[in-house]
Structure 1
Amino acid sequence: RGVATLWDDSTRPTPAGVAGVLGRSRAELLNQLGSPRSTTELAARTGLTPGCVSQHLSALRAAGLVTSHRSGRLVLYARTALAEALLQVS
């Protein structure tokens, strides 16, 4: 039991320094992207609407913090190395 979340780092608290710069919602989305996730899954995990998540992901992708790739009918988002470094610093 519980092994599935053993390596899931999205349960760690969102770093306050990152939230101060990016905003609470975008920082939380980055935090939740410990493994690739869809817009719908991110919306369910964060309580944001799918449209709001999509807008934030677009901004994060434009900043080079998130990448996206298609997997069947889903578009999955993942953190970039830059986002990983940002989360480690704070």
Structure 2
Amino acid sequence: MADRLLQHDPALAAHPHLPGPRHTATVWDESARPTPVGLAAVIGKSRADLLNHLDTPRSTTELATRTGLTPGGVSQHLSTLRSAGLVTRHRTGRTVMYARTTAADSLIDAAS
């Protein structure tokens, strides 16, 4: 019983030396560097966050999870970013993956 309760306690499950659900660490994934404040001031925080999280190609669902935006909101922002030439998309099976363009990389690097 104690082991079962321990596994479902979010405060304890994330501790590296205690048992917990698999993949818990993805909640605290810090792979993306902090979003540049200057970039957020120019294109908006949500779009800057999306570009920042596109350090590797990702789906709208994954971006929604990482940013806290709704999938519909992510899709609208990605359409705008794509129109501006900052994002490309390609289909992998049934999933559409989005990636930054070199122009977006340059924009992020300049703002950092």
| Same-fold call, TM cutoff 0.5 | yes
Report the Cα offset of residue 11 of structure 1: 2.4
**Contact 1:10–1:33 at 8 Å: present in 2 too?**
no
Q: List, as ranges, runs of 4+ consecutive aligned residues in structure 1 with deviation greater than 6 Å.
A: none
Higher-strand-fraction structure: 1
Equivalent in 48, 51, 67 of residue 27 of structure 1: 48
AA at the equivalent of 1:70: R
**Could you list the runs of 5+ residues in structure 2 that have no partner in the other structure?**
1-28
**Contact 1:9–1:34 at 8 Å: present in 2 too?**
no
Name whichever of 22-31 and 9-18 sits farther off: 9-18
Normalising by structure 1, report the TM-score. 0.89
Aligned to 2:71: 50
Report the Cα offset of residue 10 of structure 1: 4.5
Instruction: Please tell me whether Structure 1 or Structure 2 has the larger radius of gyration of its CA atoms.
Output: 2
Q: How does 1:1-90 map to 2 (within 5 A)?
A: 10-90=31-111
Q: How many residues align?
A: 84
Identity among equivalent pairs (%): 67
Post-superposition CA distance 1:28-58 (Å, at most 9, x none) = 0000000000000000000000000000000
CA distance in 2 between counterparts of 1:81 and 1:16 reads 20
**Contact 1:68–1:77 at 8 Å: present in 2 too?**
yes
Normalising by structure 2, report the TM-score. 0.72
**Contact 2:59–2:95 at 8 Å: present in 1 too?**
yes
**Could you list the runs of 5+ residues in structure 1 that have no partner in the other structure?**
1-7
